[in-house]
Amino acid sequence: MRKELKGPKVEKIAVAVVQQLNELNEKIYNVYLLNLSDKIIEGVMISSKGYGQNIKTGEKVKTAMLRHSIEVLLPNEAAKIEPIIEEVFGINNEYWISFWNDSVMYDKKYIFVAESISEENMKQIPILGVRGVMIM
């Protein structure tokens, strides 16, 4: 593929699924966008969807596509994208992120493959200081 068709490479931008406690002290999960760079990103557009196959029945599963936006994300800042339920951890969960930096548009697809969001894959997430699974 020609270099100019690929677009600029996204660096130091991550998506994380983190485990937190709600007001009833129950485990919940939220998805965050992390700006680990030293630059401001603006006009952030996010689309999320889940897809895969039910292991028990073999039937294809597809969730609705959701869209989110974040006006500005400062350096070393995180923003909550959406809550996520454990029932979809068994399918692929895709987050397509597009944003502007210095008048250049960037975009990247982040995919949490089926079963990758699990206790054994969790580690301490920078900026947030909680446990989760992060893709950079």
Question: Tens of pLDDT along 94-103?
Answer: 999 999 999 9
Q: Report the pLDDT value the prediction gives residue 54, as an integer from 0 to 100.
A: 78
Most confident of 4-13, 17-26, 27-36: 27-36
- The model's pLDDT over 91-131, given as tens digits with 9 standing for 90+, comes to 999 999 999 999 999 999 999 999 999 999 999 999 999 99
Average pLDDT score over residue span 30-34: 98
Task: Return all residues near 38 (Cβ < 8 A) that are at least 6 apart.
Answer: 75, 76
Domain boundaries, the chain: 3-135
- The residues near 117 (Cβ < 8 Å, ≥ 6 apart) are 17, 29, 84, 89, 93, 133
Multiple choice CATH, 3-135, 2.60.40, 1.10.10, 1.25.40, 1.25.10 = 2.60.40
